[in-house]
Structure formats: structure tokens, C-alpha cells
Amino acid sequence: VAPLDVAGLAGRVRAGDAKAVARAMTVVEDDAAAAAALIALLHPHTGRADVVGVTGPPGAGKSTLVDRLTARVRQDGKGVGVVAVDPTSPWSGGAILGDRIRMQGHATDAGVFIRSMASRGQLGGLAAATGHVVSVLDASGKDVVFVETVGVGQGEVEIASAADVTLVVLVPGQGDEVQTLKAGLLEIADVFVVNKSDRDGAERLEAELQSMLALVPSSSPVPPIVRTTATREEGIDALWSAILSVRERGVASGERARRRRDQTRRRIELLVTDALRARVWGALPAAEVERVVEQVLGRALDPASAADAIVKRGLA
């Protein structure tokens, strides 16, 4: 295999070459050292794209909405990137992910780039890789980047909320809306989407959301609620308008800049954590881990001292 020409690849990514973008994404997912070199070259050319996070319960219609929003953004002639993060699936790029993305309508549009990512281990690693993938799309000149992830846990929610505008998608008639919101989704929503409004209960869900939002003591603006029926393309214009007005408000108030600062700090933290983890565990052969486990089991060593010794050795 020829050595990777990182500078050449970065140049082609910046020129918007779709093949180079795909290659760059494989690099940032698979090869930490090459990823660092590539991102170093691309980073000065990022920060232009608007990143829109989309999260919510499984099957809420997130991918269908992203598909319709993509069509809407394309009407304005803007380029779109889509990253579908699937932390639950150990398979990358397979039929399941393909099905989850539902973006086939844009497959032949050069102005749209779609990437699915699955976790192969640590969620932390996935979050860091998602940040890189967004940077690649940003540097390639995409104007809007959608990041979809199922809002089932803290890590997933965090990935979707590392955005300029975060959509929380809910559907009527699930009975667990309030539960879902308790799982951290209330705090991160800039816009609530009540999708599947063709079903019974959309009005009630909206009313419930409104009364819930009224209870939240907050200095920040109350998130708008937009009703959609993604499959019938209803409410998509209103949703895009809501996204744009939240964006404008964020730019004007300084919220966008503040958030980007927080996200940058978080991104660095994630990379530090990943680097330390790789270094510490990389220094320790699996057989030796088992030996330490035996020692702790046999009470010759305690767990904290074992961890301390492993860390010291990894950093030596």
C-alpha cells in the first residue's frame, strides 16, 4: 500500500472532491495518527458550516426529516453533509445503517455527501471521530452539516448536541415523551419537532411540551415547537425557518460563539482522553492484564493500586 499523501488528500478535500472526502473520512475513523495530520491541515479551513444536530427516540423519523431538510437546503443551492451516527450497531455501512439513513433520493446529487458511522468500541472514540468527520465536511465546503444520532444515552445525546442548532424529534402516542425528556433531551433542544403529526395526539404532545417548557426557569430563549409530517413533506419549510431563526439569534446574542468555544474545549478533552487510553492500554499486553486481574482476585493487590500501576507504566 502506498503511503498516504496527507497534503494531497487535504487539498482534494478542500476542492470538494467527493472521493477524497470519502477517503478522508475512512482515514479519520481508522487511523489516529493520519487523522491528526489530516485534521491539522484542514482545521484552518473549518468553522464555516452550520452544524445541525438531530436526535430523539429510535424510529421518530429523524432520517426522514434530515432527508427532507436536505432537499429544502438544496433548493437554496447550498451544499449539505449528513453524518448518521449509530452507536448501537457494531456493523459499519451495512444494510441496517443504509436502511436507517433513508437518503437514497440524494445519492446522485454531488451537492450532498452522506456518511454513516458505527461504533467499534468506545463511545468517546466515536464522539471524537464524529468531530473529525464534521470538520472534513466543513473543510470540503458543505454549508450545512446534519448530525443524526439516536437519543438513547448521554453519549449519543452529547454527539448530537455538539452543534450550532440541536433538534429534538418526538412523536405522539408513545406515552414516554416525558421520560424521554428526562433523559437530558429537554436541556439540549433548540427546536422541538413533533413529527408524525398525521397521527393522533400531536396536539396533545405539543401542549404537554409547552407546559413543560413553561416550568423551566431559564434565561435562554424558549425553544420553538414545530409540527411536521416528514413522509408527506409537511412542516419542512417551517422547520427550516425555525432552524435559521435560532441560528441568527445565536449569532446575534453571542450564544453561537460561546457554544463553539465549549465544544472546542470538549473536543480537545475527548482527544486527550482517547490518546491517554490508547497509550496506557497499548503499553500493556492482554496477558499481563489477566495477570493483574488474578492478583486483584487473589487479594495480593487492590483494584486502585492495580490501576495506578497500569497508568504509571503506560505513561512512563
Ligand X SMILES: Nc1nc2c(ncn2[C@@H]2O[C@H](COP(=O)(O)OP(=O)(O)OP(=O)(O)O)[C@@H](O)[C@H]2O)c(=O)[nH]1
231 binds ligand X (CB under 6 A): yes
Smallest gap, in angstroms, from Cβ of residue 6 to ligand X?
Answer: 33
Number of residues that bind ligand X (CB under 6 A): 16
- By a kind-dependent CB cut-off of 5 to 8 A, residue 60 interacts, out of ligand X, Mg ion, none, with ligand X
Asked if residues 135 and 46 have their Cβ atoms less than 8 Å apart, the reply is yes
CA distance 46 to 136: 8
13 binds ligand X (CB under 6 A): no
Please give the full DSSP string across 230-287, using - where no structure is assigned: GGGTBSHHHHHHHHHHHHHHHHHHTHHHHHHHHHHHHHHHHHHHHHHHHHHHHTS-HH
For residue 194, what are the β-bridge partners? 170, 227
100 binds Mg ion (CB under 5 A): yes
- By a kind-dependent CB cut-off of 5 to 8 A, residue 47 interacts, out of ligand X, Mg ion, none, with none
CA atoms lying within 13 Å on the CB side of residue 123: 14
64 binds ligand X (CB under 6 A): yes
Residue closer to ligand X (CB basis): 63 or 140: 63
CB burial readout 196-217, b (16+ within 10 A) else e: bbeeebbeebbebbeeebeeee
Residue numbers 75-104 binding ligand X by CB under 6 A: 100, 102
- By a kind-dependent CB cut-off of 5 to 8 A, residue 17 interacts, out of Mg ion, ligand X, none, with none
Residue numbers 187-226 binding ligand X by CB under 6 A: 195-196, 198
What residues make contact with Mg ion under the rule CB under 5 A?
Answer: 62-63, 100
What residues make contact with ligand X under the rule CB under 6 A?
Answer: 58-64, 100, 102, 150, 195-196, 198, 229-231
